Amino acid sequence: MLLLVGLGNPGPKYERNRHNIGFMAVDAIVRRHSFRPWRARFQSLAAEGTLGAAKVLALRPTTFMNESGRAVGEALRYYKLAPSDVLVIHDDLDLAAGKLRIKLGGGHAGHNGLRSIDDHIGRDYRRLRLGIGHPGDRERVHGYVLSDISRAETAMFDKLVDAIAECAPLLGDGAFDVFMTRVALILKPPQHKKTEHKKIERNEAGRTGSGPDREG
């Protein structure tokens, strides 16, 4: 089983905060892949489903961010899972907005949700890091992560979350490198097809004489 954990703060006040991008991604996965309805379990909202070949329990802790580890630890112990069976989706200040990375283990880099999970299950779990960018000043970080995604950023983050949901079966199969490649292709498709299309249009215009007229 894969324990898929989205990090965020509960309640409508925080719903569109940058800090809640983990919740947004898990919500999109649950919707796209027709998981069972959310229900209260393990100090969380939990939904069961499948991704690829794996049974999955998706979690949205109903504790605040800095107590997320209580929910993860409770679910882990109930199902007798190892930390390596856990994938946590969370916001990351150290990545440019709209970028993502997967890593196994490592430090929490000051993220209170990860810090709490480390305290409850150790560090040997996977993290899907979703970049939200940095405000540029350490003093502004708290307000920045707890502010809403701006209108200018909305389309970018919506596209990121949709791409993650589309490619999520690869997470269930443990094909993490392939997942990263597929998401990257969705977010930034190759340009060669557009170039070829324009070249064909130019060639057609040359053969039919339909290019622009010039006065000499």
pLDDT digits (tens), the chain, 216 positions: 999 999 999 999 999 999 999 999 999 999 999 999 999 999 999 999 999 999 999 999 999 999 999 999 999 999 999 999 999 999 999 999 999 999 999 989 889 999 999 999 999 999 999 999 999 898 999 999 999 999 999 999 999 999 999 999 999 999 999 999 999 999 998 886 555 555 555 665 555 554 444 333
Task: Please report, as a single letter, which amino acid is at residue 116.
Answer: S
Catalytic residues, by residue number, are: 19
CA distance 69 to 111: 12
Domains of the chain are: 2-190 (3.40.50.1470)
CB count in 10 Å sphere of residue 187: 16
Q: Among residues 136, 137, 135, 109, which one has the least CA distance to residue 123?
A: 109
Q: Are 30 and 49 in contact (CB under 8 A)?
A: yes
Task: Please report, as a single letter, which amino acid is at residue 104.
Answer: L
